[in-house]
Amino acid sequence: MSRIRAAVLGSPIEHSLSPVLHRAAYRELGLDDWTYDRFEIDEAALPGFVAGLGPEWAGLSLTMPLKRAVIPLLDAVSDTAASVKAVNTVVLTPDGRRLGDNTDVPGIVAALHERGIDEVPSAAVLGAGATASSALAALARICTGEVTAYVRSSARADEMREWGRRLGVDVRTADWSAAAAALTAPLVIATTPAGATDELAGAVPEAPGTLFDVLYDPWPTALAAAWTARDGALVGGLDLLVHQAVLQVEQMTGRPTGPLAAMRAAGEAALRARH
């Protein structure tokens, strides 16, 4: 039996749950001839790896630090990926083309939609990295008012305001020292590394809105735990990971609907096993 291959690339990559999610999708869809692996690939090794892909390859998932480095290697990039200058999905077509997309942005929107959040009057973003730009692109679709980004440097503030201009989002910036004020927003999206928001756990208001914390391991974060203790609505990093992976499966396999429930169950089981 000939195999159809897909994989996730990045560095570090050992922690990635993508193989668990994609393999669960293949089982659910009956795609017994599909395989999904992980490869430790940095920016220097990426061009050689991509150049060596044969016709058995259907697609790639990309994590840091490759989401921007892959763009010059592609034949076409979707409008969504171009808007945030980041590709996390590459579809390899039978005629040899390499097509780049970003499923993080619609993944954020889908995860919020699943919790009944289709529109918010304002929002706050904690952090200013690559995920923050995807968060702004998602907010461009659902936020009708101002977005305040809490950052640690003037350079980061300039970057977030520039992303706002590019994406059509009204972005105001504030220093990280005032980040506790973010927690009063109707929607808070935390895009920072593990531990960065722990200091804010004691500042969760009495009646919080919705927190979207993009981390999934460790989980819950101190902020997420404090949020749920106040009965605030919570969307987690696994929600984002599953929704963006569903879109990847649909694009790579050509199936119209990815098996969301099976993929989420596999991800939850894998995280329980880790801890």
Q: What is the CATH number of the domain that holds 226?
A: 3.40.50.720
Per-residue pLDDT band for 267 (boundaries 50, 70, 90) equals very high
Per-residue pLDDT band for 275 (boundaries 50, 70, 90) equals confident
Angle, helix 18-29 to helix 237-253, in steps of 10 degrees: 50
Q: What is the pTM of this model?
A: 0.94
Active site residues: 67
- Whose tokens are 């500042």? That residue is 203
211 and 267 belong to one structural domain:
no
- Phi, psi (degrees; rounded to nearest 5) at 213: -100, 115
93 and 122 belong to one structural domain:
no
Per-residue pLDDT band for 218 (boundaries 50, 70, 90) equals confident
Question: In which domain, by residue range, is 257 found?
Answer: 4-102+242-274
Q: Count structural domains, the chain.
A: 2
pLDDT of 217 over the 90 cut: no
- C-alpha 75/C-alpha 23 separation (Å) is 27
pLDDT of 56 over the 90 cut: yes
Beta strands in 44-155 (DSSP E): 57-62, 76-77, 89-92, 98-101, 123-126, 147-151
* Mean per-residue pLDDT, 56-81: 96
53 and 123 belong to one structural domain:
no
260 and 205 belong to one structural domain:
no
11 and 53 belong to one structural domain:
yes
9 and 88 belong to one structural domain:
yes
* Mean per-residue pLDDT, 63-92: 96
Q: Specify the higher pLDDT residue, 274 or 70.
A: 70
138 and 95 belong to one structural domain:
no
Nearest to 41 by CA among 105, 90, 106, 114: 90
Helix (H) or strand (E) holding 34: strand 34-40
- C-alpha 19/C-alpha 24 separation (Å) is 8
Q: What is the pLDDT of residue 3?
A: 84
User: Which amino acid, 39?
Assistant: F
Question: Mind listing the pLDDT tens digit for each residue in 105-134?
Answer: 999 999 999 999 999 999 999 999 888 999
137 and 91 belong to one structural domain:
no
Nearest to 108 by CA among 250, 210, 183, 232: 210
Rounded to the nearest integer, the mean pLDDT of the chain is 96
217 and 268 belong to one structural domain:
no
169 and 227 belong to one structural domain:
yes
* CATH number of the domain residue 71 falls in: 3.40.50.10860
User: Which amino acid, 53?
Assistant: L
165 and 136 belong to one structural domain:
yes
- C-alpha 87/C-alpha 117 separation (Å) is 25
Q: What is the pLDDT of residue 167?
A: 95
* Mean per-residue pLDDT, 251-261: 94
96 and 145 belong to one structural domain:
no
How far, CA to CA in Å, does 17 sit from each of 13, 64, 157, 175, 264? 9, 14, 31, 33, 11
- Phi, psi (degrees; rounded to nearest 5) at 258: -80, 150
